[in-house]
Amino acid sequence: MTLTAKSADLRANIAKALCLITEKKRTIDWILTHHPDWTAQPIQRELLYGCARHYLEVQSTIDPLLKKPLRDKDQDLYHLLIVGAYQLLYLNIPQHAVINETVNATKKLHKPWARGLVNGVLRTVSRNNAQPKLEEPYFGHPPWLAKQIQQTYKNSANDILVANTKRAPMTLRVNQTKISVCDYQTLLNHNKINHQIGALPQSIILDQPMHSQELPGWHEGWVAVQDLGAQFAAILLDQHTNEPNRILDACAAPGGKLSHLLELKQNIIQSQPTNVTAIDHSPARISQTQQILARLGHDLALRSGDATDLTWWDGKPYSAILLDAPCSGTGTIRRHPDIKMLLNAKSIDELQELQLKMLNNLWQTLAPQGTLLYCTCSLLDAENDGVISEFLTQHGDASYTSIELPTGSKRKHGWQLLPTDPHTDGFYFALVHKKGGLER
């Protein structure tokens, strides 16, 4: 792996980024947005994602080498050790270069007194020369999270935990309102971009990830980057509803599922564009989503609205609702390894309460005979079947519709995709039907 002349700087910056994650509870996405210079080069992104992905394993390697824990004010040094040890254990970089540049980075952190400490710890790691193993029973996960996955998935749990330490595939969704899948494949072949068709006709999986803006037709809106699992959401809502008079996307940002739904419903939307409502509570995310929709050629204005209240609603019922609920994201740990560093057991209880609150609130806006698609990118039963089970208990006018997808497995009320399934992240889907009117 190639290093740059500023390799000491980049190691110091990654150490500071890890401090922001562990101490300030910032996400990697936040760091990418607010400190783009820290992640501008491939090696910087490799270090940030890799250290987060293997954080607990690297911790278990360096902690026994410290005579005592570093002070709170020296956690940047601790994370510099994480950065150095990660490279020695997982990357093909000459050991002398790793140690020298990581030692030099102490000066960038304004702590040159720690040169001897960093040098000693990393040389010991280098001498041991053993990559840490994904030890059972937790496989590099916080114990509480591993236990919840093991309780839910029994025999397949270990495979899921190991899969979470791997890299996710890069999957595209061809915007068929602009170009056919066949023609887009021709473009990829012309640019020597190796790929395969996914389980859905509009999905393409790249053999090797690449920067999205380097994709052919990106700026023309011919393609979007969207996980294969996420692509099932719009298709399910499309297939399991009659021609809807009004559609609501209740948590629309960042717009992947919304733009896909707009592409599937193009004819209806062109004739009745005001019958699609998309809301989100974050002005920044609304702005980002509008830019994504514009690039893909979709002329739809998002509204500011919170799915836990009805101040945004005009009182006219919807015949179809998509609720992509806020969740733990445990199905996307491969893409967001910082989840293992940020999440705690209490968060799940809080998220479950929020998910139920959103369902109960939005149920008031759904017309009789209407359909609500509830989805999360979680692996945890508490956020998935557990939420739907509680919701069905509270609402006598609600029933669920069975789902069957080409990959994944059936749960009691919904369908679960796993990171061990071909080419998908972990996603959960449940279709809830509202009784009343003339039953179909």
Task: Show which residues are catalytic.
Answer: 377
Buried b (16+ CB within 10 A) or exposed e, 71-89: eeeebbbbbbbbbbbbbbb
CA distances from 186 to 44, 181, 196, 223 (A): 33, 9, 12, 13
Residue type, 13: N
Q: Say how many CA atoms lie within 13 Å of 371 toward its Cβ.
A: 22
Sign of CA dihedral 207, 212, 216, 222: positive
Instruction: Please tell me the distance from the alpha carbon of residue 287 to that of residue 325, in angstroms, as a whole number.
Output: 19
With beta carbons less than 8 A apart as the criterion, state whether 418 and 380 touch. Answer: no
Distance CA 374, CA 324 (A): 6
DSSP H helices, 54-196, are 55-62, 75-90, 95-108, 115-128, 143-153, 157-163, 181-190
3-state SS assignment for residue 49: helix
Task: Give strand ranges (E) for 235-317.
Answer: 247-249, 276-280, 303-304
Helix (H) or strand (E) segment spanning residue 361 = helix 345-363
Distance CA 169, CA 207 (A): 8
